[in-house]
Structure 1
Amino acid sequence: MKQEMDAKNLIKFILGTLFGVFFVLVPFNFDGTVDTILFYYVKLFVKQFNSQLSMVLMICIIASAAISLFNLFNDKTFLGQNRLMKKLFVTSPFYVVNRIIGAVLTVMIYFQIGPSFLISADTGGSMLSLATQLAVIVPSMLLFQTFILEFGGMEFLGEFIGKLVKPLFKVSEICATSIISAWVGPGNAAIMATKELFENGYFTFREAAAIASHFTTGSIGWIVVVSSVLGVMDYFGLILAGLLVVSIIVAVICVRIPPVSLYEDVYVDGTTEFKHVVLKEGNALTRGLHNAANRASEAGVKNFAAKIDNMTFYVFWLTPIIICWGTAALVIALFTPVLGWISLPLELIMNLFGVKEAGIAASAIMSGLADNYLPVIIGGSIQAASTKVIVAMMSILSIIYLSETATLLSSTKIIKKFWQTILIFLERTYIALPFVILFVKVFM
């Protein structure tokens, strides 16, 4: 039986989505500075209150380390019973140690105590400054991205690409909306959403692995963050177009090679039959508008309130890890030849294509395995705009990074072995790089 579209929900979908696009994604010129409305004013706020925000962040990082350490030795407390507290503070000994190191480093950097190679403006000082900026920018982005992700935009677009995903990525048409959501939304949220849909019988093992490991980018808002911090917002449209083209090419290749290609095409119950009913009446536009209006009808305050999880997760869970691993990576990059050694094959490829400042760029790209923001930190000293654009695109395309997605993919068993996440990172990096360089060479 055909359902009528609610005009109020249709308007809600259109206005909500358009507001999100213009507020979060569209760059404007602010007195010579190209930025989106959201990030321009958030960065002004951070600049004005940087000292106070750094102190608050330090307190949050210390609290993260202290509470998680307490829970490690007292696991019968309320922390394990409360959903949000468990998510933020109940973790493994490995990550507790990382938080403690991150807290110690933060205190040393903030009060300028300790060896200069750790606390200087080029290493720890740079990390604390950027972490402070991101601790405000990323939660803001997660909050306002709700307009783009949860007011029907993904359902509307999904109807138009459903016919393409099957031949391109060897997945069923129903995966289309999840693929778009994974590409434009927060990576960790996309992985958890993929896991839930897999457990509910929507995806096979192979489809879940393909979506989670080859489409969960750092989100479209994160692309704005990376472009803004690297100073290449002038090229934001080009970067977005390049990421769309190259990510499709890389995904087309990677879903056809191990490890993802070896995963079984069966559902969680062991069968090969899809059991859910899918609406197919009407044309793509009608179905798209209908599904978008339905999704918009569910959007409200609760959708924004639900973002508290990921907003606090970033500050309390990821920031100490970023400080810890980021400072270590910068020290290694600046004071040892290690990062240069492991990134040598990338440097050779970039030199072959005549990329400027190939050594720094290669090290920046390879550092993305530790955390997806490290390429931006290490690549910040690059002068050539074209090389900065390459680093920006590669930092998004790598998808796998140890500080979050690699651990999440293996812990949720979407990717069965941890070493397979490393293999996926290397596959994506070496396959994507030549295409990214060619794209930049042609269009810049």
Structure 2
Amino acid sequence: MKPNIQQQEEMYEDRPIDKKGLFTFLFPSLFGVFVFLFPIMGGQAFNIPLGIMSEYLIELLQNYLAEIVTTVMVISMALTLFTVTIKPKFATKNSEWRSLFDVSIFWTLTRVFGALFALMTLFGIGIQAVYSSGTGQVMLNDLLSTLIVWFFVASFLMPYLINFGAMEFIGTLLRSITKPLFTLPGRSAVDLLASWIGNVNVGVVITREQYETGFYTSREAATIATCFSTVSLPFCLVIAGMLQVDHVFPVFYLTIVLAGLASAIIIPRIPPLSKMEDTYYTESTIHEDLPEGKSRLRWAVEQAVGRAKQAGSFRDQLKQSTQIFMNIIFVLLPQAMAIGTVALIIAEFTPFFDIISKPMIPLLQLLQIPSAAAAAPATIVGFIDMFIPAVLASGIEEEMTRFFVGALSLVQIIYLTEMGTLLIVSKIPINIGRLFIVFMQRTLISIPIIAVMAHLLY
């Protein structure tokens, strides 16, 4: 729940910290930090409570998830067509309904195709290129059926991380690091941790919610979402295992960290992100600057307590969570199905990425990457989906090349089947063209770093 301007000004006044306010900040925030950020060892890999809960539900519902996701898409299509064609009075007067279903012709058609693609895939009918194992089935059965559960759990737990002062507290303490290093406010550190340890898409949703409630500028939100979100440690382990480089995982993950940090430092300082406006989506009076004569810790606690006092009741948190989840399932799912399936069809059935990746071959040869011609398409196709580079590289004989492609795919992070579409359909002003430019910037910055690490190892 977003505090108004007067409430925000009151929250930053210099006043004693009362115990009730301190407890209101501490207990929900500690719970939120535990759920989203606390690593727990499970089997051979680390996970977080959010991941454990999500994976439990996925296993419980795995036989029904594809049907649930398809049903949601069909409902979204039907309600969107009803709203944009009939325009009933109740829909035009309800802002929440309008934000979900009163969309442009382009997004209406996207939802229609998303629902149709889901139906084709679920029943194995229609165009084979749509429902094949490498296209529609990847989107429906592997990605969206998992995402709907992740987002369900995250949506109803997210308020404890963002509404009760954790971001204000951590942001104030870390501002002296994140501002000069990444040109970002301190509160973005929570996004980094949430996506680094947990799930990159959850990190994007947190960023989107913070932008729409006036806590980030458009430049900050776009920068955090494209540069400050990273692939989670458990997923890195999965990719390393697929490429049979898990026996050198410490070096593999260190390489990802180094390349990711270099990208996060450089890209916010160059176009297109550096040219984006520092304007808020809604009015904001965020104060991270340390007042004269006050310790950083006390200022952090004061801001956190003030934010917690304005968080609202449990009913308010439940309403916000429901809105977040409804926006994801009715907006993201059908549009991700449409865009992701088309992108996978292009990658699977056309030579498009083989052609546009040809300029990468001389660069890889210059860096002495074995099987450069075979690795080149994998350096570009990650824009479509994060799994595809690993699939392409899994058949390459040289381990050094598999190491290189795997690490690069995990640093690129901007892929249309999930987080790219999540960004495109959000209110953050970043389109597919800007996303591809940032993707290529991350790629070109990371390639020499990963190549050096690969040569040191092999």
TM-score bracket for the superposition, by shorter chain length = 0.7 to 0.9
Q: State the TM-score, normalizing by the size of structure 1.
A: 0.76
Question: 1:240 Cα deviation (Å)?
Answer: 8.8
Structure 2 counterpart of 1:187: 204
Structure 2 counterpart of 1:128: 140
Structure 2 counterpart of 1:62: 74
Note if 1:375 corresponds to 2:386: yes
Alpha-carbon distance change, 209 to 29 in structure 1, aligned in 2, over 3 angstroms = closer
Alpha-carbon distance change, 219 to 101 in structure 1, aligned in 2, over 3 angstroms = farther
1:423 paired residue among 429, 434, 437 = 437
Structure 2 counterpart of 1:391: 409
Query: Which SS does the other structure have where 1:403 is aligned?
Result: helix
Provide the C-alpha distance between the structure 2 equivalents of 1:155 and 1:442, rounded to a whole number of angstroms: 41
Write out aligned runs for 1:256-405 (5 A): 256-262=269-275, 280=291, 281-299=293-311, 300-301=313-314, 302-345=316-359, 349=363, 352=367, 354=369, 358-359=375-376, 361-367=378-384, 374-376=385-387, 379=390, 383=394, 387-395=405-413, 403-405=421-423
Note if 1:75 corresponds to 2:68: no
Structure 2 counterpart of 1:176: 186
Provide the C-alpha distance between the structure 2 equivalents of 1:116 and 1:399, rounded to a whole number of angstroms: 19
Question: 1:35 Cα deviation (Å)?
Answer: 2.9
Alpha-carbon distance change, 66 to 336 in structure 1, aligned in 2, over 3 angstroms = same
User: Is the Cα–Cα contact under 8 Å of residues 139 and 314 in structure 1 kept in the other structure?
Assistant: no
- Gaps of at least 5 residues in structure 1 are 269-273, 368-373
Alpha-carbon distance change, 16 to 188 in structure 1, aligned in 2, over 3 angstroms = closer
For 1:394, give the aligned amino acid: Q
Alpha-carbon distance change, 216 to 128 in structure 1, aligned in 2, over 3 angstroms = same
User: Is the Cα–Cα contact under 8 Å of residues 24 and 37 in structure 1 kept in the other structure?
Assistant: yes
Structure 2 counterpart of 1:371: none
Question: 1:127 Cα deviation (Å)?
Answer: 1.5
Question: 1:432 Cα deviation (Å)?
Answer: 4.2
- Gaps of at least 5 residues in structure 2 are 1-12, 195-201, 395-401
Question: 1:169 Cα deviation (Å)?
Answer: 4.8
Provide the C-alpha distance between the structure 2 equivalents of 1:308 and 1:221, rounded to a whole number of angstroms: 26
Provide the C-alpha distance between the structure 2 equivalents of 1:29 and 1:247, rounded to a whole number of angstroms: 24
4+ runs deviating over 6 angstroms? 218-222, 231-244, 264-268, 274-279, 397-401, 439-444
Q: Which moved more, 1:305-314 or 1:382-391?
A: 382-391
Provide the C-alpha distance between the structure 1 equivalents of 2:454 and 2:369, rounded to a whole number of angstroms: 12
Provide the C-alpha distance between the structure 2 equivalents of 1:418 and 1:318, rounded to a whole number of angstroms: 15
Question: 1:54 Cα deviation (Å)?
Answer: 1.6
Question: 1:103 Cα deviation (Å)?
Answer: 0.9
Question: 1:344 Cα deviation (Å)?
Answer: 4.0
Question: 1:96 Cα deviation (Å)?
Answer: 1.2
For 1:211, give the aligned amino acid: E
Question: 1:319 Cα deviation (Å)?
Answer: 0.9
Identity of aligned residues (%): 23
Structure 2 counterpart of 1:254: 267
Q: How many residues align?
A: 417
Structure 2 counterpart of 1:146: 159
Alpha-carbon distance change, 276 to 354 in structure 1, aligned in 2, over 3 angstroms = closer
Provide the C-alpha distance between the structure 1 equivalents of 2:440 and 2:75, rounded to a whole number of angstroms: 35
Provide the C-alpha distance between the structure 2 equivalents of 1:237 and 1:19, rounded to a whole number of angstroms: 30
Structure 1 counterpart of 2:111: 99
- Cα RMSD of the aligned pairs, angstroms, is 4.2
For 1:57, give the aligned amino acid: V
Provide the C-alpha distance between the structure 1 equivalents of 2:326 and 2:360, rounded to a whole number of angstroms: 35
Q: Which moved more, 1:44-53 or 1:422-431?
A: 422-431
